[in-house]
């Protein structure tokens, strides 16, 4: 529409290898919101490692490389927060798919967690200071990420020194007291049931008031001196950012050299093409797969 601007997705922006550009785009995205009254926290950027191009939110991810993810995310956070809007990187940790995101368990060795799934967040926190981090909806080695003391306290706070608050969205973890104990401060999908569960846990001495006070204090520290959150009656106008969007799109284009005349694919190069199962579009594949099989592809 005339009142909107469409910027390249984060996967494209990361392909520009231009951190200044990413910061500029993030600033342009946040600037219209910054002009409104109230305090706004942008639940972005998405920092999951891009494992599958059909992973639902893949266009919100930066890369399959943890270092690129971390550097790009830091630039994005700095751009957003330069406007007065706050950023909360999402996907901590190992959020690799959206289909059944609340049901799958990422089983990973300590080395894989460190070098693949946590490294991007570590780099991002070294290069920026986001107000919050979003815990993912999945389990990691059998424990909900939003209820993992190892992730939210031992690594994020004690080891990396993060002093903001932790939020989570759409988690299906019903052990609210475990989430609070682990260091999850704000449950976006809150409910009266969760509140009652937490009160019952306090009454049963399965969680202390001091732990709850600790989490509330982190939220109050953020809220102190800031105006209340405003509900927008209409979408903020983006301003004239079309030139920046066009430049960002141009810089995000990646040209591949057709070395050894690999393209176009011909019968002399490839006899059969294999189709592999994907996670997020399986409902669309059976008919497509049968049609290809009828054409001689396996």
Q: Of 8-12, 93-97, 206-210, 237-241, give the lowest mean pLDDT range.
A: 237-241
Percent of the chain with pLDDT over 90: 60
| pLDDT > 60? residue 232 | no
Check: CB of residue 86 under 8 Å from CB of residue 131: yes
Q: Average pLDDT of 272-291?
A: 56
| pLDDT > 60? residue 280 | no
pLDDT greater at residue 289 or residue 283:
289
Alpha carbon 171 to its chain centroid, in Å, reads 14
| pLDDT > 90? residue 276 | no
| pLDDT > 90? residue 4 | no
| pLDDT > 50? residue 79 | yes
Q: State pLDDT tens for residues 175-204.
A: 899 999 999 999 987 789 999 999 999 999
Q: State pLDDT tens for residues 15-57.
A: 999 999 999 999 999 998 888 767 789 999 999 997 766 666 7
Residue 58: per-residue pLDDT: 76
Query: Helix, strand, or coil here: 5?
Result: coil
This prediction's pTM: 0.84
**DSSP symbols for 65-119:** SHHHHHHHHHHHHHHHHTTT-EE--B-BTT---STTTTT-EE---HHHIIIIIIH
**DSSP symbols for 130-158:** -SEEEEPSSEETTEEGGG-HIIIIIIIII
CA 57, 59, 60, 62 torsion-angle sign: positive
Residue 235: per-residue pLDDT: 58
Q: Which two tokens stand for residue 248?
A: 């960002």
| pLDDT > 60? residue 148 | yes
Check: CB of residue 38 under 8 Å from CB of residue 227: yes
Check: CB of residue 92 under 8 Å from CB of residue 134: yes
Query: Helix, strand, or coil here: 166?
Result: strand
Residue 286: per-residue pLDDT: 58
CA distance 253 to 255: 7
Count the alpha carbons within 13 Å of 160 in the hemisphere toward its beta carbon.
26
Q: 10 Å Cβ neighbour count for 262?
A: 11
CA distance 177 to 283: 37
CA neighbor of 145 nearest in space, from 108, 192, 120: 108
Tell me the CA distances in angstroms from 166 to 163, 271, 293, one per residue in order. Answer: 9, 51, 48
């Amino acid at each position: 529409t005339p009142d909107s601007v469409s910027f390249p997705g984060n996967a494209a922006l990361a392909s520009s290898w231009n951190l200044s550009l990413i910061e500029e785009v993030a600033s342009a995205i946040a600037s219209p919101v910054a002009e409104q009254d109230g305090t706004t926290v942008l639940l972005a950027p998405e920092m999951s490692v891009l494992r599958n191009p059909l992973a639902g939110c893949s266009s919100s991810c930066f890369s399959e490389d943890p270092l690129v993810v971390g550097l790009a995310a830091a630039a994005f956070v700095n751009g957003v927060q330069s406007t007065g809007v706050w950023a909360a990187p999402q996907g901590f940790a190992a959020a690799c798919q959206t289909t059944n995101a609340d049901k799958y368990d990422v089983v990973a060795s300590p080395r894989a967690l460190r070098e693949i799934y946590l490294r991007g967040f570590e780099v991002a926190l070294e290069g920026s200071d986001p107000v919050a981090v979003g815990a993912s909806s999945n389990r990691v080695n059998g424990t909900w990420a939003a209820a993992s003391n190892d992730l939210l306290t031992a690594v994020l706070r004690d080891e990396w020194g993060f002093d903001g608050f932790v939020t989570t969205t759409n988690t299906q973890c019903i052990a609210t007291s475990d989430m609070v104990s682990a260091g999850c401060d704000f449950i976006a999908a809150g409910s009266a049931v969760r509140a009652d569960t937490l009160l019952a846990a306090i009454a049963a001495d399965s969680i202390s008031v001091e732990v709850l006070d600790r989490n509330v204090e982190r939220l109050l520290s953020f809220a102190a001196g800031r105006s209340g959150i405003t509900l927008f009656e209409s979408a903020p106008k983006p301003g004239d950012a079309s030139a920046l969007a066009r430049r960002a799109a141009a810089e995000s284009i990646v040209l591949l050299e057709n070395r050894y005349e690999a393209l176009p694919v011909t019968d002399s190069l490839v006899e059969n093409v294999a189709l592999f199962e994907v996670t997020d579009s399986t409902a669309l594949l059976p008919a497509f797969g049968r049609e290809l099989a009828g054409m001689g592809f396996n």
